[in-house]
Structure 1
Amino acid sequence: MVQNFNDTILKAIRNEQTTHTPLWFMRQAGRSQPEYREIKKKYSLFEITQQPELCAYVTQLPVEQYNTDAAILYKDIMSPLEGIGVDVEIKSGIGPVIDQPIQSLSDVEKLTPFNPYEAVPYVLDTIKILTTEKLNVPLIGFAGAPFTLASYMIEGGPSKNYNKTKGFMYKDPKAWNLLMTKLSDMTITYLRAQIDAGAKLIQLFDSWVGALNVQDYQAFIQPHMKRIVSEVKATHPVPIIMFGVGASHQMIEWQETGIDVVGLDWRTTIDEARNRGIVQTVQGNLDPAILLAPWDVIEERTRAILDQGLKSNQYIFNLGHGVFPEVQPATLKRVSQFVHDYSAHVKSTQQ
């Protein structure tokens, strides 16, 4: 482990006293950074992730630039799918595209078991480089949650309404359950391998699960999420964060899966989450669009979120979704400095 290791984010999750509020930004490595844009002129996303030294550089860069309290591994939630027999391409301006979507039980049955050491050894090599040589903060490993992965596999790409996905779920529960089981198997194996390689905490991105109501989440999704969390923690007890967009109506169901951190988007305040019964650490939740506003607006909105989060040690500052390409790196650096300074001042007066 690198000397002078900053474990503030882990302390916050454990409800221990910290000197400041920890923060990181979703999509903190990527399109808003000029250094990254230069790299992308030569390599695709998948090509970057398949070069461990280069991928480690991209992952580490925002930690150095913004002084964040965690790094998140640079890769895509689609990265492991080829390892179960799914051809996926990231198309510019579109996102993940799958030419042969899942349409039937027989399509699901063809999906093969996942071996991370054969399918994505470069991901694990990148983690080892980062955690043994580069980072002085915890590395967040991650995976796409089964519903979100299934939505791409069934729709064939991004969707606005997920009608095909939900239709598949409703009309063929047997095929749906098998798909969720196979994707859960993959996720458990994948996360364990990332932790073995050195990841100190995990985020599950169920980005599009907000398309479901609570009743359907409980029936079709929650049992599989409980299994993922319980089986990963049984052998690899590191903190697990859950995040989705427009999914605050499911937050209690998330909490019941056994996760450690509930990630909020900007639609729900921290006070609202606490009042609705969220007792775990909360992460969030500045609207990323506010980063395009003048600084006085950014500071006012950030302070308001911090004032709610700082009512508890169990709080991690983040955005309510990912950084936009148009956001200036200098703005993220300034937000980070403000969060650290303001929270340190508040915490010093609370002691």
Structure 2
Amino acid sequence: MNETLRQSRFLKACRLEPTDVTPVWLMRQAGRYMSEYRELRAKVSFLELCKNPELATEVTVTAAERLGVDAAILFADILLILEPMGLDLEFAKGEGPVIHNPVRTAADVDRIRWMEDPSPLDYVYRAVTSIRSALPSGIPLIGFAGAPFTLACYAIEGGGSRHYEKAKTFMYRDPGAWDALMERLVAATTLYLNAQVAAGAQVLQIFDSWVGNLSPFDYRRFVLPHMRRLFEGLDPATPVIHFGTDTGSLLELQRDAGGDIIGLDWRVELDQSWNRLGPKVGVQGNLDPTLLFAPIPEIQRQTRRILDQAAGRPGHIFNLGHGILPTTPVDHVIALVEEVHSYQPTPTN
């Protein structure tokens, strides 16, 4: 890693070191709200875009440079890893992801392939290498994967869900089959993320988008041991952001599972949450994505409110509490980034 990259404000924040201004990047910063992305998607399907390293590079780098953010994130999807494991994945128009052969029984778990070689996802690593080459030398690249719990829910539900009744019923009814599925997902995700680092990613983010549907008791039993194994298997020199939504009741357990930075959604107060987590981890977040539809002065005010809560403490990375929504005005996103970069905390005596 070059020294310019190592000393970037984003990587310094990941190491809990002071920065000149708070670093900012945004989940789904390359997406449908940008005209450049929509023009590409008019020509190719979502999966084709994910599997074309040249196009993935174009949308990733264009978004990072247009917004002026402090990090780029690989353009991909958390469910890509399920295909080489034997699941039939489709992104159906208007429906989102659909898995045509979902896991519903212990016998179904037995047909899920162990990923012993990361090469079936080679197109992702080629995209990482290409993006790294195309980015300015001081802008880090974030690789990512879905967390095993969230992947398991997709695999069992067969797609999106509101209540996750199929997944949770499977978990409660057959804990042994659940653990066997999670073991396969942990092994595959570990290989996948380490391969992204080898290809050129400087930071990793693990998305546990659905884990907030569990009680602390169930997280402790069904998720925590698996997440610990995942974090223990990752390259120790690479910072990891551990993100979930609706996880206000799980923050300490997420910290105990692993990660250098804990992602916060907008349902919690940043300062109170960081105090709960303690001094050994940083935090990422946590503006409500729908606030980007508000007038720019209100976006600026709410952004300053969150930055005031962080109070310049080393280890804060500004982000939304989840991804940018598809109809968000681009100029509002740019105004947010500019506000973060112009903010200076009031000195404390």
CA offsets, 1:139-198, max 9 Å, x none?
Answer: 110000011011111111100000110100000011000000000000000001000001
Give the alignment partner of residue 160 of structure 1, picking from 159, 162, 166.
162
Give the alignment partner of residue 219 of structure 2, picking from 205, 217, 220.
217
Deviation at 1:54, TM superposition (A): 1.0
Asked whether 1:346 is paired with 2:345, we answer yes
Q: How is 1:65-76 mapped onto 2 (pairs within 5 angstroms)?
A: 65-76=66-77
Q: Structure 2 CA distance, aligned partners of 1:237 and 1:94?
A: 39
Q: Structure 1 CA distance, aligned partners of 2:115 and 2:105?
A: 20
Q: Structure 2 CA distance, aligned partners of 1:328 and 1:192?
A: 35
Go from structure 1 to structure 2 and tell me whether the alpha carbon gap of 1:89 and 1:278 turns closer, same or farther (over 3 Å shift): farther
Q: Structure 2 CA distance, aligned partners of 1:227 and 1:311?
A: 33
CA offsets, 1:217-249, max 9 Å, x none?
Answer: 00010000000001114xx42111111111121
Go from structure 1 to structure 2 and tell me whether the alpha carbon gap of 1:167 and 1:117 turns closer, same or farther (over 3 Å shift): closer
Partner of 2:145: 143
Q: Structure 2 CA distance, aligned partners of 1:227 and 1:188?
A: 9
Deviation at 1:316, TM superposition (A): 0.3
Q: Structure 1 CA distance, aligned partners of 2:116 and 2:332?
A: 40
Q: Structure 2 CA distance, aligned partners of 1:326 and 1:2?
A: 37
Go from structure 1 to structure 2 and tell me whether the alpha carbon gap of 1:307 and 1:336 turns closer, same or farther (over 3 Å shift): same
Partner of 1:239: 239
Tell me, yes or no, if the aligned pair for 1:45 and 1:75 is still in contact at 8 Å.
Answer: no
Partner secondary structure for residue 80 of structure 1: helix
Q: How is 1:301-320 mapped onto 2 (pairs within 5 angstroms)?
A: 301-320=302-321
Give the alignment partner of residue 206 of structure 2, picking from 204, 207, 211.
204
Deviation at 1:314, TM superposition (A): 1.1
CA offsets, 1:297-328, max 9 Å, x none?
Answer: 11111100011113411100000010011111
Q: How is 1:249-264 mapped onto 2 (pairs within 5 angstroms)?
A: 249-264=249-264
TM-score, normalised relative to structure 1? 0.95
Go from structure 1 to structure 2 and tell me whether the alpha carbon gap of 1:145 and 1:61 turns closer, same or farther (over 3 Å shift): same
Partner secondary structure for residue 346 of structure 1: coil
Q: Structure 1 CA distance, aligned partners of 2:155 and 2:37?
A: 28
Partner of 2:105: 104
Q: In the alignment, residue 262 of structure 1 is paired with which amino acid?
A: I
Partner secondary structure for residue 96 of structure 1: strand
Tell me, yes or no, if the aligned pair for 1:286 and 1:301 is still in contact at 8 Å.
Answer: yes
Tell me, yes or no, if the aligned pair for 1:83 and 1:116 is still in contact at 8 Å.
Answer: no
Deviation at 1:93, TM superposition (A): 2.4
> 7-16 or 141-150: which moved more?
7-16
CA offsets, 1:116-144, max 9 Å, x none?
Answer: 64311111011111113334311110000
Partner of 1:173: 175
Asked whether 1:122 is paired with 2:123, we answer yes
Q: Structure 2 CA distance, aligned partners of 1:117 and 1:180?
A: 17
Q: Structure 1 CA distance, aligned partners of 2:290 and 2:18?
A: 31
When the two chains are superposed, the root-mean-square deviation of aligned CA atoms in Å is: 1.7
Deviation at 1:114, TM superposition (A): 1.9
Q: Structure 1 CA distance, aligned partners of 2:37 and 2:348?
A: 40
Partner of 1:267: 267
Partner secondary structure for residue 100 of structure 2: coil
Tell me, yes or no, if the aligned pair for 1:180 and 1:224 is still in contact at 8 Å.
Answer: yes
Give identity over the alignment, percent: 43
Tell me, yes or no, if the aligned pair for 1:2 and 1:134 is still in contact at 8 Å.
Answer: no
Go from structure 1 to structure 2 and tell me whether the alpha carbon gap of 1:253 and 1:338 turns closer, same or farther (over 3 Å shift): same
Q: In the alignment, residue 211 of structure 1 is paired with which amino acid?
A: N
Partner of 1:41: 42
Q: Structure 2 CA distance, aligned partners of 1:331 and 1:253?
A: 34
Q: Structure 2 CA distance, aligned partners of 1:225 and 1:271?
A: 25
Tell me, yes or no, if the aligned pair for 1:242 and 1:259 is still in contact at 8 Å.
Answer: yes
Q: Structure 1 CA distance, aligned partners of 2:294 and 2:145?
A: 31
Q: Structure 1 CA distance, aligned partners of 2:248 and 2:134?
A: 38
Go from structure 1 to structure 2 and tell me whether the alpha carbon gap of 1:3 and 1:218 turns closer, same or farther (over 3 Å shift): closer
> 318-327 or 89-98: which moved more?
89-98
Go from structure 1 to structure 2 and tell me whether the alpha carbon gap of 1:250 and 1:216 turns closer, same or farther (over 3 Å shift): same
Tell me, yes or no, if the aligned pair for 1:255 and 1:278 is still in contact at 8 Å.
Answer: no
Deviation at 1:90, TM superposition (A): 1.1
Partner of 1:54: 55
